[in-house]
Every structure is written in structure tokens, then in C-alpha cells.
Amino acid sequence: MSKTNPGNFFEDFTIGQVIRHATPRTVTEGDRALYTALYPSRFSIPSSAEFAANVGLKPAPVEDLIAFHIAFGKTVPDISLNAVANLGYAECRFHQPVVPGDTLSTSSEVIGLKQNSNGKSGVVYVRSTAVNQHGETALEWCRWVMVHKRDAGSPAPTEVIPELAKTVAAGDLIIPDTLNFTGYDFTAAGEPHRFGDYEIGEKIDHVDGVTLTDPEHMLATRLWQNTAKVHFNTEARPDGNRLIYGGHIISMARALSFNGLANAQLISAINAGAHVAPAFAGDTVYAWSEVLDKAETSAPGVGAIRLRLVARKGRDESMTLRGEDGKYADGILLDLDVWALIPV
């Protein structure tokens, strides 16, 4: 019998099933350095141990998305190795900031199943949780993916579609215990704009563009131990291109958003996300943001700002999300809805 992992097919999932994912992964200063080399990130908390200590975070956490990518990558061999498509995210909340030395272990619970009408595939909903070595939750999120059936003839499971929040309520955001923005150093952080300077509905063109390359996205995707074949193997797709991991685009857009949102420091939640189109080496990625909402928090000096973060191929100064037909505008790669923490 083959010893390699065939992944799970739609029939292998049952409601309530809990899958403990391999392999636990210890985060290090090496991850922080590589992240800086891979993405044009300059956010001052992960960049500077001194800045982080001054806002109550000591030792300095790594970029929030490092934890997200590592935890997400762990779920791939069990959840999405046979996926047709990654359909959506919801209710992603960051709990404890992850610092070098933390070991993340990830597990997923199956919370929904819906066979497609063609009988050949189905949608699997999971809630995944990454905990550190102390058993504390680092982050949790839901996602749903379309997965092939092994056998089209196998019976459909009872349909269960979970109710997922359209957006994480501001009151449900988890603020790190010790976070305190009252002595925030705006000059060191790079921009003067604070909570009160952003208006709901405001759009920000982040101006800069980065042209993607194959070696860089492969380095990133391997760093998160994400093993999906299409990212690495030119023989895996008819066109000979390597498909770029969607998370690479998320991190690129987030890093580009520094220019205009330098103080939107910590990602607190991902409310929703769509990978609108695939990205390939040679594409030049730009980003723009839209302020969707704002909320106060109980932490000293800390506000929450809800942002639509859009990545696109080629710059669009008009920052158009959808055409008159309601479809995403040409060139859009990513439409991500996040809550970030920002000094008031």
C-alpha cells in the first residue's frame, strides 16, 4: 500500500471530526528576517524590538501573517490537497501575538459539508485553531474549500452549512493584554495618520508596485511548509506556470499598504477574503485600501479600523472594485476584509 499522503476526499470528512495537523513548527528570528526579505514590510512593531516594547509588547511579535501562513500551511495536506478551489475565509481572529520561540500546533474541526449538485465534489467547512506550546490560542479561522470526491457514486452526507459571521464584531476582537498605544511614537512609525484621520469610505492608493518572481514565492510558500504542488512544479499545470500561493499576495498587499497605513499596526481579524484571480511570476502587484468601519476598543490608546485591502495586477488610480456588471474589475487579485489596530 502506498505510504504517501493521498489527502482527504470529500467522503473522508464528517461533521464534528477533529483533525490534528502535522507538523508543529517553531517560529524564529529567521522567519522574521525572511519575511522582511520577501515582502516590503516596514511596520514598526515587528521591525523594532524597542518600538514593540514601548507599546507593551516584549518580546517583539513577528508579523501577524507569519502565524497565519504557518497555521494555514499545516491544514493543506489534510484539508485542501484535493481541493478544486479555496472558496472563502471567515471569523479569523488573532489572539496571542506570536514571538520567536513559540511552537504552533494546528488542528481543524469539520463544521459544514455540502455536496455539489454534480455529485463529483463538495464543499467542506472547517474551523482551524493554532495553539502555542502553552496551549494558548494564537489564532483561529474558518475556511471553506471545494474538494473532489473519491467516488462520484458515494452517497451525499447530510447537508450542514454553518452560520458564519459576515464580519467579526468589533466587540469580539481580542486585543493583546499589554498593548498600550498612549506613548506611540508616530515619527518612528513612519506616518502621522491616526484613528481620527481616517474616514469611513476613504480610499488609499498605496502607489508602489512589486513585480513577482518564481523563486521568491516558492521560498515564501516553503517557509510556511505549504506543500500544494501547483506552487512549485511547472509540470503541474498545462500552461507550465507555477500558481502563486494566495497568501503570498496577501502578504505583499499588506506590506505595500504601509505607504498610507503605517499605523494600522496589528491585524486583529480577517473578516472575509476572496482570491479573485490567480497570480504568476511577472505580474506587477499594486494595492489599495478602503476604510469600511471604525471602532473603539478597551485598550489604552488603541482603536480598531476595518479595511478592505485590495491587491491588483497593474495600478488603478480610480480604485474600482467592481464594474457596472457587479463583477470584480479586471486585474483584481485579492479582496480582503480585515480589522487592524491603530493608535487613536
Q: Give residues 211-230 in contact with a copy of itself (rule: CB under 8 A).
A: 211, 213-216, 218-220, 222-223, 225, 227, 229
The yes or no reply on residue 320 touching a copy of itself (CB under 8 A) is: no
Distance in Å, CB of 59 to a copy of itself, minimum: 10
The yes or no reply on residue 128 touching a copy of itself (CB under 8 A) is: no
The yes or no reply on residue 279 touching a copy of itself (CB under 8 A) is: no
Amino acid at 171: G
Decide: 335 and 276 in contact? Cβ < 8 Å: yes
The yes or no reply on residue 189 touching a copy of itself (CB under 8 A) is: yes
Query: Please, which residue, 77 or 301, has the CB nearer to a copy of itself?
Result: 77
Cell 452549512 locates to: 161
Query: Please, which residue, 113 or 223, has the CB nearer to a copy of itself?
Result: 223
Q: Which of 117, 187, 298, 318 binds a copy of itself (CB under 8 A)?
A: 187
Distance in Å, CB of 49 to a copy of itself, minimum: 4
The yes or no reply on residue 183 touching a copy of itself (CB under 8 A) is: no
Distance in Å, CB of 189 to a copy of itself, minimum: 6
What residues are paired with 137 via a beta bridge? 131
Q: Which of 8, 82, 105, 297 binds a copy of itself (CB under 8 A)?
A: 105
Distance in Å, CB of 21 to a copy of itself, minimum: 9
In whole angstroms, what is the distance from residue 17 CA to residue 12 CA? 10
Strand 137-148 and strand 203-205: pairing? unpaired
Site string for a copy of itself, 41-60 (x = CB under 8 A): xxxx--xxxxx--------x
The yes or no reply on residue 196 touching a copy of itself (CB under 8 A) is: no
Strand 83-94 and strand 137-148: pairing? antiparallel
Interface with a copy of itself in residues 136-175 (CB under 8 A): none
Query: Please, which residue, 254 or 315, has the CB nearer to a copy of itself?
Result: 315
The yes or no reply on residue 82 touching a copy of itself (CB under 8 A) is: no
How many chain residues touch a copy of itself (CB under 8 A)?
79
Query: Please, which residue, 60 or 338, has the CB nearer to a copy of itself?
Result: 60
Strand 302-313 and strand 210-211: pairing? unpaired
In whole angstroms, what is the distance from residue 306 CA to residue 271 CA? 9
The yes or no reply on residue 3 touching a copy of itself (CB under 8 A) is: yes
The 10 Å Cβ neighbour count of residue 338 is: 27
Distance in Å, CB of 167 to a copy of itself, minimum: 23
Give the interface segment with a copy of itself, choosing from 26-34, 169-177, 295-303, 336-344 (CB under 8 A): 26-34
The yes or no reply on residue 293 touching a copy of itself (CB under 8 A) is: no
SS3 percent helix, strand, coil of the chain, rounded to 5, is: 25, 30, 45
Interface with a copy of itself in residues 228-247 (CB under 8 A): 229, 232-236, 242
Buried-state track 193-230, b at ≥16 Cβ within 10 A, e below 16 = bbbeebeeeeebbbebbbebebebbbebbebbebbbee
- DSSP assignment of 290-315: EEEEEEE-SSTTEEEEEEEEEEEES-
CA nearest to 210, candidates 38, 31, 33? 38
The yes or no reply on residue 193 touching a copy of itself (CB under 8 A) is: yes
Which residues does 323 contact at the CB level (< 8 Å), separation at least 6? 329
CA nearest to 41, candidates 257, 267, 268? 257
Q: What secondary structure letter does DSSP report for 196?
A: G
Query: Please, which residue, 93 or 231, has the CB nearer to a copy of itself?
Result: 231
